[in-house]
Structure 1
Amino acid sequence: MLNILYDHQIFTMQHYGGISRYFASIQSGLEKQPDIHFNNGVLYSKNYYIKDNTYLPSYLSKVFLKKDRSIQKWNRKYSEYLIKKDNYDVFHPTYYNPYFLKSIKKPFVITVHDMIHELFPEMFEPGDVFVNYKRRCIENAAHIIAISQSTKNDIINILGVDENRISVVHHGFRPQMSVTSDLTDSEKKQDYLLFVGDRKGYKNFPRLATALTPFLKRNPEIKLVCAGGGAFQSAELELFIRLGISDRVQQISASDETLSRLYKNAMAFLFPSLYEGFGLPILEAFQNDCPIIASQTDCFKEIGEDAIQYFNPYEESSILNALEEVVENKQKALTLVNRGRQQLQKFPMESCIDKTLNIYRTFGQKK
């Protein structure tokens, strides 16, 4: 029996999110392996993906762990206790805090999701500790999982890590629930373009909004819908006023089911990031037959290949031209959708789980 220990970090930090979903999906796959046992190192979490898989029952947790600060404190204590107990073969921290280095005695594997902080330091606070945390984890790990070849290349180029210490394991994708093709009245008033997730910094949202303005003004029946990412902030609202598109941009806090409907009914999904480590929304759009218009980054080209209409994310004219080529050409949009269906087949969740399990087995046997 191979014993895998995870820690609390990402399940404490996120209620929803790509990284916590990644770990929850792997754990779900391990449950089906007769020779594998795992502990996720969590006393209690508000995370959507593991809400039924924590140590304390929810009714006790709601009494004793009401505040997020208390949840973080006791989850860390619980993870530290399990690490010191040493009853595992491989440890897989779920984020980069290296608190465990002082007490760990077994091999650990770290997943690196991107090198955004290292490549775009100007977009983060000077006191951000996670660049240091990540480097320390990478230097001490028995093995490193990179979620794309692009991310592996960045780890090698930035930190000088031996490529033999890194395995590329793409995110797997398990098709979500099927949804009806119709949005509710509150979700869809007219045709729309879709943007998903956070809008800060390297996500390149202000440039996207600026690039889309001529198109939106020529097509008053079309809106830009932003799913997730929180309500628009004051600087964003001011940008919309200056561009003259305040009535053309809408923000929706979307559940997974609502998000699927938004993809399915959108004219196109726009992904203008300057950099990503993988780009899970690409696979979500593929599943829901939504044509994708995205940055010509190495990562997106690796994941999307010829199933995406690419643009230069630094040039507003390139963004606008790519958009017009897709939404004004139904055959082009259909071609992208058909290619997307085929491309999605290259990222089964089973492959992600199997490759990760092989890494656990390799380093769990090196006693």
Structure 2
Amino acid sequence: MNSHESPKPRAVSIGFDDQIFRRQLRGGISRYFRELAHDLSSVGVEVHPAMDQQRRHWPGPQPWRQADVLHATFYGGKPYRRRSQQQLVSSLFDMTPERHPEHFFLPAFRSPHANKARWLEASDLILSISAASADDLAFFQPNLRVPLKVIHLATAIDRLTPKPIAALTGRRYWLMVGKRHAYKNGLTVLRALALLHSGTTSKSRRSEKPLLVCAGGGPWRSDERRWIGGQGLEDAILQLPADDRVLAWLYRHAEAVVVPSLAEGFSLPLIEALACDTPVIASDLEVHREVGQSYATLLPALNAKVWAEKLADSERLLSPSQKLGAQKYVALRSHYAPERLVQEHIAAYGSTAT
């Protein structure tokens, strides 16, 4: 090794506990850890799996407890009593429950978020999915002295073979992905849609307007159905379940992707739209400025009239590659690719052993 070369972090074995998999098999966080474990294994990292895929639990001693680095997948109960020299890593996905407690039940017997502070304090390293979440943590736990690294999420949705939806082929539509209620703020987009269809905005037109497609997030809630019916918007909105291939098609053909959240830890739809080169309209949050940089159009989260005006002009929105330019677009797309995420995790795990 040349004197000017930095030493590479030594290889360490990684274990993922089964906390999140006991709570959700198909949620966003469980998917993150499942894909991370797979991708680490595919590049030769020794990974102790979180669960027996057949039994969905280990009948004997948990193998992840023998790993050099134990990556906790949630904040349930008390932090582990670890064996000697084992390092504990925790992930910080967001501080939304702390910022918006009105949308969460935080007593320890109801929500593991109440245990988050203790888990983070007991960790040897915290991995935050955004600088914005790390800043929120510094506000709510200013005396925390645990090292923290920011590792942005990634997507490979542009590599999937899309599955077309015949009813939407050739039709204009806006796309909203995932949950809609509470801090996800879907009501602002519904209010904007009502303004557009009432003809009260300065840019409302009598020509056919795009459909609002809500992909995933479950069927309409009773309050949503009442509101949509009261505004006469039944024919202006479509809710549908969507697997990855369907989402890949929806992203690629949408006129715009809308993300009106009041809070986010990262916001995957922004980088999924980036990967598919689709225009993005998002709420003006710190994390959307961080992730969306200059390719997302940012609007006040609760101003339905402004959202209506922008949606009325969505045909004129520029795609991310048009806004960024070819060189910057390719570079940013590469940053949000899975290969970068895996290598940054390997380096982070290795740093705990130095």
Q: Settle same-fold status: TM greater than 0.5.
A: yes
1:269·1:285 contact (CA, 8 Å) conserved in 2?
A: yes
Describe how 1:1-367 pairs up with structure 2 within 5 A. Answer: 2-34=12-44, 36-43=45-52, 54=53, 56=54, 61=55, 71=56, 74=57, 81-82=62-63, 86-102=65-81, 105=84, 106-127=86-107, 128-162=110-144, 165-179=147-161, 183-188=164-169, 190-217=171-198, 218=205, 219-325=207-313, 327-329=314-316, 335-336=322-323, 341-342=329-330, 343-363=332-352, 365=353
Residue identity opposite 1:252 in structure 2 = L
The CA RMSD measured in Å over matched residues stands at 2.6
Q: Show the counterpart of 1:65.
A: none
The 1-side partners of 2:321 and 2:63 are apart by 52
Instruction: From the two aligned structures, give the one with the greater helix fraction.
Output: 1
The 2-side partners of 1:332 and 1:4 are apart by 39
1:165 Cα deviation from its structure 2 partner: 1.4
The 2-side partners of 1:270 and 1:129 are apart by 29
Query: For this pair of structures, how many residues does the alignment match?
Result: 332
What does the per-residue CA deviation read over 1:333-360, in whole Å, with 9 as the maximum and x for residues that have no partner?
Answer: 8734867944323223222212211221
What does the per-residue CA deviation read over 1:252-307, in whole Å, with 9 as the maximum and x for residues that have no partner?
Answer: 10110111111111111100001111111111111222110001101011011110
1:134 Cα deviation from its structure 2 partner: 1.1
Counterparts in 2 of 1:254 and 1:332: CA distance versus 1, 3 Å: closer
The 1-side partners of 2:315 and 2:14 are apart by 51
Counterparts in 2 of 1:222 and 1:275: CA distance versus 1, 3 Å: same
SS of the equivalent of 2:322 reads helix
The 1-side partners of 2:26 and 2:334 are apart by 25
What does the per-residue CA deviation read over 1:69-108, in whole Å, with 9 as the maximum and x for residues that have no partner?
Answer: xx5xx45x75x6336xx52211001112145524554220
Moved more, 200-209 or 183-192: 183-192
Moved more, 169-178 or 263-272: 169-178
Stretches of structure 2 that go unaligned for 5 or more consecutive residues are 1-10, 199-204
Residue identity opposite 1:27 in structure 2 = A
The 1-side partners of 2:304 and 2:79 are apart by 45
SS of the equivalent of 2:265 reads coil
1:162 Cα deviation from its structure 2 partner: 4.2
Q: TM-score when scaled to structure 2?
A: 0.85
Residue identity opposite 1:306 in structure 2 = S
1:174 Cα deviation from its structure 2 partner: 3.0
1:263·1:288 contact (CA, 8 Å) conserved in 2?
A: yes
The 2-side partners of 1:97 and 1:126 are apart by 12
2:195·2:305 contact (CA, 8 Å) conserved in 1?
A: no
1:223·1:248 contact (CA, 8 Å) conserved in 2?
A: yes
1:118 Cα deviation from its structure 2 partner: 0.5
The 1-side partners of 2:338 and 2:193 are apart by 35
Identity of aligned residues (%): 26
What does the per-residue CA deviation read over 1:103-156, in whole Å, with 9 as the maximum and x for residues that have no partner?
Answer: 554220001100010000011135442222211111100110111110110111
Counterparts in 2 of 1:338 and 1:253: CA distance versus 1, 3 Å: farther
The 2-side partners of 1:2 and 1:22 are apart by 20
1:244 Cα deviation from its structure 2 partner: 2.0
Residue identity opposite 2:93 in structure 1 = H
SS of the equivalent of 2:235 reads helix
Residue identity opposite 2:141 in structure 1 = L
Q: Show the counterpart of 1:67.
A: none
What does the per-residue CA deviation read over 1:40-65, in whole Å, with 9 as the maximum and x for residues that have no partner?
Answer: 2202xxxxxxxxxx3x4xxxx4xxxx
1:183 Cα deviation from its structure 2 partner: 3.1
The 1-side partners of 2:318 and 2:346 are apart by 42
The 1-side partners of 2:298 and 2:254 are apart by 18
The 2-side partners of 1:361 and 1:331 are apart by 41
Residue identity opposite 1:258 in structure 2 = V
The 2-side partners of 1:346 and 1:4 are apart by 23
1:212 Cα deviation from its structure 2 partner: 2.1
Counterparts in 2 of 1:258 and 1:175: CA distance versus 1, 3 Å: closer
The 1-side partners of 2:47 and 2:262 are apart by 36
Q: Which has the higher contact order (CA 8 A, sep 6+)?
A: 2
SS of the equivalent of 1:122 reads helix
